[in-house]
Amino acid sequence: MKYVEIYKLQNDGSQTVFATCKFVDGTIVIEGDQKFADFATNEGIRNYTSDGEKKLFPKDGILFLEQLRYNFKSGYLNASEVLEK
């Protein structure tokens, strides 16, 4: 299964998993922080492979997963590459 972890930076510099986005049956299921799940589902993320105007949502499947690391890169919230288990 393909998935991406979202890490939140703590005050001591450690990172904890804040949410996990999993590719299940062609769509993305978000587990963990509910507010984050609502945000990603409703607001969407930017697609850095296009001009950025067309947003991506969990229903966009793998492309959504792939683009998470370009959206979450501040250090405070970082997304992993697409992982597999």
User: What 3-state DSSP class applies to 65?
Assistant: helix
Stretch that binds another protein, among 24-32, 57-65, 70-78 (CB under 8 A): 70-78
Q: What value, to the nearest 5°, has the Cα angle with vertex 11 and ends 66 and 14?
A: 50
* Closer residue to another protein in complex, CB, 28/45: 45
DSSP, residue by residue, 27-58: EEEEEE-HHHHHHHHHT-EE-TTTTS-SEE-G
Query: Considering only residues 37-66, where is the footprint of another protein by CB under 8 A?
Result: 38-39, 43, 45-46, 48-53
Provide the binding-site residues for another protein, judged by CB under 8 A: 5-7, 9, 11, 13, 15, 33, 35-36, 38-39, 43, 45-46, 48-53, 69-81
